[in-house]
Structures are given as structure tokens and as C-alpha cells.
Structure 1
Amino acid sequence: MKPLFVLTFLLNIAFCMAQTYHFPEESSPHEGTWLQWPHHHQHGTEYRKRIEQTWIEMTRELQTGEKVHIIAYDNAEKKRIEDLLEKNKIPLKNVDFKVYPTDDVWIRDNGPVFVKDDQGHVLIEDWGFNGWGGKYDSKNCDEIPQRIGEDLGMKVIDLNEEMVNEGGSVETDGKGVLMACKSSVISQKRGSVRTKGITQQEAEEMFEQYYGVSKVIWLDGVTGLDVTDMHIDGFMKFINHTTMITMDEDGLFEMGLTDKDINTLYTASDAEGKEYRKVYLPATKNKVKTAYGKQLEDKGSYINFYVANKVVLVPNYGDPNDKMANKMIQEQYPDRKVIGIDVRNLYENGGMIHCVTQQQPVGSFLK
């Protein structure tokens, strides 16, 4: 090899090794929001009917300030959804459709993770998805990031062989810190294994490179408590790089957290060691009852909200604490309008608003 060629080759390798990516804060400007629309092909028509009003209301509110990218199972479903939105007098100017088969609705966990490279270009990270440790079918949903990347002409970093990672299992402050539960990321307990044999150090190295963080705060979490093995976005969220919102102590105990994890959460500090300002929300006053009358066993969390360009969509339960939670969240986002979205029927299936949304940041594509 000629010396100049060797030098160029080595510099290219060094650049690739040094390249890290940044996961923008959810509150930073969006190009749009991605939704996987409920269908009947996996869980039946009654399932679809019970939860899709939540999608109608999300679309109504989101389209006022950004694009809404709806994933429909097939062309028949696409036509049905279009008719449904028109019937509900929702403008379609900011709504578009992609047709891909999906297993379910939880795009936060299986969908694309949109990040930016060192030059500010937007690209997709395609982490592995295995149905929360093999609990549910996942083949269709696992392919969604690649399908979106192909359709958009956007570069996709394929991490499927490196690590399984669900979007709801991590929260970042936008300035170097990521928080997660070991139970839903690195646990090796049967029925919850995401990545066989992965160590804490290996997971941290992946997060450092692909989320652009320098500090990972781990909670133990509880394996097997729910389908997700305790996703962090059920009970804490970063408002910005100085403030986190979580639940009061009674609410955290209701969610199943231990004293140790509550202490870790309440004393959490940023990358420079400065303790975050904390905002504490209650859980619902009562255990959640679905809109069709089924009494559930758990109270609801308001933390699983979604921050869009103009609105903040907050899970509501027809509960006396809805109004208080909405007001407290509104105080954190004075430039956006808080909208309560009824999630009672969705909550029966283990998730809320953040679980079924995925943001695409503003920026030019890396192809």
C-alpha cells in the first residue's frame, strides 16, 4: 500500500470509531410523530375498537403542530383509518401513511430511534426488539425501523446483533445522562432476557456511543412485575437537563419501586454531579377502571406523557387527580398546551401515551 492511502485508511477508521450520536431531548423541535395504529389482525376487533379512540385524539392534537406519520397494517386498514379521521373532522394536511404489518401499537419500544451525528444529520438507530424478552410476537415490529429508513431514504445503523433496547426503557436529560432499570435492559432472568449475556459495562458502552451520554444511572427495577419488566418512562422523565419529574413516594411504591430505587431516583444528579430539581406527581387517587367498566388492579401514572411541538399529551383516567396532574405538568411547559388523553382502555394492556408515540427531530437526513 502507498503511504498516503494507508494514512487515509487509518484516519477513516479512527473517525468511524470516534463517531458518537446524540439523542435529542423530546422537547426539542419535531419534524413529526410516528404512530402504529391499532388493528384487529393480532388481538381481534374488540381490542382495536376499545383503544383506537386514543389514537384519534392523539392525531387530532398532534397534527396542529407537526406531521403525524401513521403506520397502517395494510391498505384496507389505511382506507379505514382515513375514513375514521375524516368522520371525526380531523384535517389530513399534516397526516401521512406508511403501510407495514405490525404486531401491536408500542412504537416507542420497537420503532426507530432518531438520533443526530456529530454534524447534526438525522439518522435512525435500529436496536433489536424481541417482544420484551420473548413475551409477545415481535417479528413484524422488529422490522419497522428498517422499513421507515428505506422509505425515507435515511441512513439506518443496524444494532440488532449488538443489543436489544426498547425506547421506553431509557430516559436521557439531553446533556450526558441516561437513566434505566437493570430489570428491563440487562436482566438475565428467564422470560426477560433482552440480550443474552450482556454485562452492565457493555450496555453502558453502547449507550455512551449511540445515545451520546457520559453517565448512566441504574435502578434495579423489578423483573416480571409487568410485561416491560419496569420501564423507566412509567415513573420518571427529564423535563430538561436540570429538572426531572417523577412520582411522590406513595406513587412510586404503588408502581412497585423499592426503597433503594426511590432513594437513587430522589438523589439523582447530572453529569457534573449537581442534583436535579425534582417535581413530584401523585398517582391516580383510585385504581383505574376501563371506559367499558372493567376494574383494574392498579392505579395510573401521569408521568408517561408525550411532549410535542405545540402540545403535551398527558394520560388521563377519569380520576379526581387528573386535573391536578395536568396543572402540574402545564407549569413545566408554559409554551405548550397540556391536553388530557383518555387512556383507560389502553392502560388495561400495560401502557400509556409515551409508549405509543415516537418523535422524529427536525434536521436534514443522513442517507
Structure 2
Amino acid sequence: MTQLIQIKGDHPLAGPPANGLFSIPVRTPQSDGLTMPAEWETHDACWMVWPCSEECFKGVLPEAKQTYAQVARAIADFEKVFMLVNPGQKKEAQNLCGSAVTLVDATCFDSWARDSGPTFVRDDKGKVAGIDWVFNGWGHHPLTGPCDETMATQILRRLAMRRYVAPFILEGGSIHVDGQGTLITTEQCLLDPKRNAGFTKADFENLFRTYLGIEKVLWLANGLEGDETTGHVDILATFARPGLILINSCTDPGDANFAVTEDAKKRLTDAVDASGNAIEIREIPQPERQDWKGERMDLSYINFYMPNGAVIMSAFNDPADDQAKQMIQDIFPDRTVIQIPNKPLFAGGGGIHCITQQQPAGTALPPF
């Protein structure tokens, strides 16, 4: 079964130049009864991509590789980890990751599985498929060379899993869902004219309903200062369970992030989820400012990954490290909380959530 999906005439998938809106018939997750599960639901695996970009990691690539390997080994204690790697770097990755991590030959140019990899969806019978968003290097980054626009295809082909090609640009780090029909994102990222020029909130709300089963979108304004992705929500706020959102808390009025987080708290205080329930907010302290090569790193404890039975979160050699870990442990009392020193990843533009992508438990739907 197909649905008519509206796209803009200037969209990369529109074909020859055209003006205005027009409709194309496509097979969608909604038409096949699939929705996006919450990240805390049971996983079959975690997907990662071995770091290989000197340009991205700005002089800390060796340290970033050590951090990737440490994160992968920690996750592998709780669920299967697949690491995509260029064949020429396979020996290096194996030496650092060990036998608990399964290496997969791939063509990789960067290493942010959350954004260039597929977003997985599942139906009520436990059948799983993947969405291949259009990836254009975070919109604002000029593509001076190849990027990982084929990453989702490579992963889904490896899984022999159904692939839904979405007719719009999106990165996985720009959204969080509660698994019950509510999604949180930022206007700064989604309404970026270098991603989906001319798209409105209503357009995205319709697309999220069609591709992820979303009935309510919670719109925050901006992301944190120093975020190279231009407003990804997974640095600022995340669902911990339905009705509970954790938010990066900046208490210094002189910090640019103060206005960002105060506005986010105000919006969420007045919001309800898809079930009509009020949103509870839990504030997690922001680490002290640290710069790398003259630029602010968007350090945040919010950017964590939840493998089966655990939370893998960042440490920054910051006075708030222990407090943040205890707060996360209190929020997730039934999970093991592991903190990993993580400044090399943020020097490259992201965190632990950014380098991971969960594959929910279930059986693969076969390709079309």
C-alpha cells in the first residue's frame, strides 16, 4: 500500500527543478503499521561506525578512536555491537575493540551512526524495518567530499531488512521519541533552510506521523551553543520515560545556553504529550565550559545511550560529573550507569548518543 507524500519542488528528491508542492506515491511505515519504539525498549543490537576523519576530529583522532572503542566495549557487555569499518582500518579497530565487538566491512567517511544510519521502526507483531533519511552532512556543512549518505543502505542490506526511503532530510540526533506517539525536536534544526527549505512545522508533523507514528511534536526553539549540527535535540533534552524529559540545565545568566534552556523549560512546562498528560522536567547540570581549538564544545550529560539494562554516559573531568551520574542513576534505578571520559568525541562535534544507533528487538521485515 502506498501513500501520497507532499514534498517541495526544490527538495533533492524532487527531480528536475520545480516550484511549489507536489505529491509522490510512496510506501511508508504508517501504511504498513510501523512506529518508532522508545530508546529504552529492548534492543537486538547497537550500530556504530569506526572513526576515520582527521578533519572531523581536529587533531584528536587517536583519542577519539580510544573513546569509541571504550564505548563499544561497554555496550557489548549488555547487547551485541556491530561496528562498520573501512577494510584498511579493520585490524586497528579489532585491536582496540576486542572480540566482543563485531566488525562489518563498509565504506565510511565519518562516524556518526545516529545521524547517517537508519532509524528503526517496528510493528505490533515485532517486525522491524529501517528508515533511510536523506543525509546531506548536517545541512550547514559544505560537502567538499563524499559523506555517509549510503550508511543506512549498507546497514539495512547487511540485515536483509526492509528500507523505507524518506523524501526529506533528517538526522537521528535531531529527534527523541517516547514510544507512545510523542516526539521532541528543535525549530533551529528542522526549519534550517539548508536542510528542507520551505518546510513548515505542519509539514514535519505530517511527515513524522507518516514515518514514525507520531501524534504530538514538542517544539523547542534552539540547541546549545557550539553544537555543529545546528540544534540537535539530543544534546539538550531527552525522554527518560513517557511524560519525563531530562534537560540540560544552565544556571549562569551570562552563558548563551541559559536563555536556551530557560526557553525550553517554559515550553515544556506548558506542554502535554500525545496522551494529554503534562510533561515532568528533570534538570541535569551543565558541565563547565571547555573550548577546543578556540571553539566551545557543546558538553552535555544528556547525550547518553541506553543499552539493555544500562546507561552509558559521559564524564568530562568536571565538578558536576559525580552529581550527574547519581542523578541519572536515581532516574534509572534498574540500570547500571557507566561513565566514560568523553571530551575527544565532543571535540569532533558530538557525544555517546551521536555515535550509536539502537536496533530494537524483533524480526526483520524482508525488503520490498
- The TM tier, using the shorter chain, reads 0.7 to 0.9
Matched, 1:116 2:122: yes
Q: What whole-Å deviation, never above 9, does each CA across 1:283-333 have from its counterpart, x for those lacking one?
A: 11x32367xxx6764572111111111321111101110000000001111
Q: Distance in 1 between matches of 2:203 and 2:269?
A: 26
Larger radius of gyration: 1
Q: Deviations over 1:126-153 (max 9, x none)?
A: 0111111140547441101111111211
**Which letter maps to 2:39?**
E
Match of 1:262 in 2: 265
Contact 1:69 1:96 in 2 (8 A): yes
What is the CA-CA distance between 1:14 and the residue it aligns to? 11
State the aligned residue count. Answer: 341
Residue 96 of structure 2: aligned partner: 84
Q: Is residue 330 of structure 1 aligned with residue 337 of structure 2? A: no
Per the alignment, residue 97 of structure 1 pairs with 103
Change over 3 Å in CA distance of 1:127–1:82 after alignment to 2:
same
Is 1:22 paired with 2:50?
Answer: no
Aligned partner of 1:32: which letter? A
Q: Are the aligned partners of 2:181 and 2:274 in contact in 1 as well (CA < 8 Å)?
A: yes
In the other structure, the counterpart of 1:314 is 313
State percent identity of aligned pairs. Answer: 30
- CA deviations 1:167-214 (Å, max 9, x no partner) are 1111111111111111111222xxxx2123222212111101211111
Q: Which residue of the partner structure matches residue 62 of structure 2?
A: 49
Task: Tell me, yes or no, if the aligned pair for 1:171 and 1:232 is still in contact at 8 Å.
Answer: yes
Which residue does the alignment assign to 1:69?
A: 82
1:120 shift after superposition: 2.7
TM norm structure 1: 0.84
The question of 1:144 aligning with 2:151 is answered: yes
- Give the equivalent residue in structure 1 for 2:9: none
Q: TM-score, normalised by structure 2?
A: 0.84
The residue matched to 1:53 in structure 2 has which SS? helix
Shift of 1:44: 7.8
- Which residues in structure 2 correspond to 1:1-367 (within 5 Å)? 18-40=31-53, 46-73=59-86, 75-85=87-97, 90=98, 92=99, 94-137=100-143, 139-159=146-166, 162-188=167-193, 193-221=194-222, 226-250=227-251, 254-255=256-257, 257=260, 259-284=262-287, 286-288=288-290, 297=296, 300-367=299-366
Cα gap change, 1:194 to 1:327, in 2 (>3 Å): same
CA contact (8 A) 1:101 1:140 kept: no
Q: Specify whether residues 45 and 226 from structure 1 end up closer, same or farther in structure 2 by C-alpha distance, changes over 3 A only.
A: closer
Q: Distance in 2 between matches of 1:311 and 1:338?
A: 6
Query: Contact 1:288 / 1:317 at 8 angstroms: preserved in 2?
Result: no
- In the TM superposition, residue 22 of structure 1 has moved relative to its aligned partner by 1.1
The 1:40–1:180 alpha-carbon spacing in structure 2 relative to 1, beyond 3 Å, is closer
Write 1 or 2 for the structure with the bigger share of helix. Answer: 1
* CA deviation after TM superposition for structure 1 residue 258, in Å: 6.6
- Kindly indicate whether the alpha-carbon contact (under 8 Å) linking 1:42 and 1:104 is maintained by their aligned counterparts in 2: no
Q: Distance in 2 between matches of 1:243 and 1:235?
A: 14
CA distance, structure 1, for counterparts of residue 118 and residue 124 of structure 2: 19
Q: 1:148 to 1:274 in 2, by over 3 A?
A: same
Aligned-partner Cα distance in 1 for 2:30–2:318: 51
How many Å apart are 1:216 and its aligned residue? 0.9
Between stretches 110-119 and 227-236, larger displacement belongs to: 110-119
Partner amino acid for 2:211? Y
Q: Residues 289 and 297 of structure 2 are in contact (CA less than 8 Å); yes or no, is this contact kept in structure 1? A: yes
Alpha-carbon separation, structure 2, partners of 1:83 and 1:14: 42
Once superposed, what is the RMSD of the aligned Cα atoms? Answer: 2.9
Deviation, structure 1 residue 277:
2.2
Higher fraction of strand: 2
**C-alpha distance in 2 between matches for 1:199 and 1:260:** 21
| Equivalent position SS for 1:217 | strand
How far is 1:267 from its partner?
3.2
Alignment partners' CA distance in 1, 2:74 and 2:295:
28
- Equivalent position amino acid for 1:132 in 2: W
SS at match of 2:104: strand
Contact 2:127/2:365 (<8 A) preserved: yes
| Alpha-carbon offset, residue 58 of structure 1 | 0.7
Q: Quote the Cα distance in structure 1 between the aligned partners of 2:228 and 2:29.
A: 36
Alpha-carbon separation, structure 1, partners of 2:27 and 2:105: 39
- Report the Cα offset of residue 34 of structure 1: 0.7
Q: Which moved more, 1:94-103 or 1:220-229?
A: 220-229
CA shift at 1:72, angstroms? Answer: 0.5
2:336 is matched by which residue type in structure 1? K
